[in-house]
Amino acid sequence: MDGRAQRLRQARIDRGFETAAAAADAHGWSRNTYASNENGNAPFSYRRAKEYAQAFGVSAEWLYDAGGAMQPGADTGEIPVIGRVGANPDGTVLFALGQDPAELAPIPPGGTDKARALRVVGHSMRGLADDGALIYFEDQRTAPTPDMLGQVVIVETDTDEVLVKRLLRGSRPGLYDLESIAGPMRHDARLRWAAHITAIIPPFQARRIVRGAA
């Protein structure tokens, strides 16, 4: 296995996919093609590296030839704005399209290079974050912890939805009720991971600190 293939495997594992097949299925890739790229039998192009980098939250340059930092913008103290939230009243995160993040934002105080930002669109999160604000979280992909109960957090369900919700106990262990800022309660959801919100930047300041990615 060459260095490029090793970095691809590392990025996939760090993103929480236990197998190459699971990653391929989640992103609509051919299992055989992806497996060949990851085991080094078929070296992948820079264009494909950009696609994989976007999916796994790493820098395309690092993935392709170990150039620069592993995380996008990490060498400049910046992290990607990966999606929009609040455009739908149910709190669904709409991930940014394209192969590279369109915007970068500074790492927040106390944050790491695993920090990610979401831009609030619309007024369905009024009272928590207004239209144009930034919501930061650490993209660690870990199970919910007791200190998250009663808090507004970022979660991913077992139905592939990423949501901003208040986390509450469900009817039995391993299940959670998800309370919307605006919208219906969702009962007894199974979660893959949950993350604390680490910072909320109001719209005026967000406009000043976000820059377009090159």
- End-to-end C-alpha distance for the chain, whole angstroms: 31
Q: What is the C-alpha to C-alpha distance for residues 137 and 37, in angstroms, rounded to an integer?
A: 31
Going through 29-184 in order, the beta strands assigned E by DSSP cover 78-85, 93-95, 103-106, 115-120, 134-138, 152-157, 162-169, 176-179
Give the pLDDT score at 199: 96
Structure confidence at residue 101 as a pLDDT band (50, 70, 90): low
> What is residue 162's predicted lDDT score, i.e. its pLDDT?
86
Q: Pick from 209, 212, 213, 164: which is nearest to 186 by CA?
A: 164
Task: Assign domain 74-212 to its CATH superfamily.
Answer: Umud Fragment, subunit A (2.10.109.10)
pLDDT value, residue 96: 54
Estimate the share of the chain in helix, then strand, then coil, as percent rounded to the nearest 5. 30, 30, 45
What average pLDDT does this structure show over 177-191?
88
What is the rounded average pLDDT of the residues 14-32? 90
Is the pLDDT score of 98 beyond 50? no
- Global pTM value: 0.67
Residue span(s) of the chain under CATH 2.10.109.10 come to 74-212
Burial readout 86-100 (b: 16 or more C-beta within 10 A, e: otherwise): bbeebbbbeebeeeb
Ranges in the chain annotated CATH 1.10.260.40: 3-65
Mode of pairing for the β-strands spanning 115-120 and 78-85: parallel
Extract the tokens encoding 124. 């369905």
Domain 3-65 grouped into CATH 3.40.50.1010: no
pLDDT tens sequence across 165-174: 999 999 999 9
- What torsion do the CA atoms of 184, 84, 28, 16 make, to the nearest 10 degrees? -80
Largest CA distance in the chain: 52
Which has the higher per-residue pLDDT, 146 or 69?
A: 146
Query: Which of 96, 129, 106 minimizes the C-alpha distance to 197?
Result: 129
Question: At 188, which helix (H) or strand (E)?
Answer: strand 186-189
How confident is the model over 79-105, as a mean pLDDT?
A: 71
d(CA 56, CA 66): 15
Q: Are the beta carbons of 31 and 21 closer than 8 angstroms? A: yes
As a whole number, the mean pLDDT across the chain is 86
Lowest mean pLDDT among 9-23, 88-102, 106-120: 88-102
Burial tier of 36 (Cβ tally within 10 Å: 0-12, 13-18, 19+) = middle
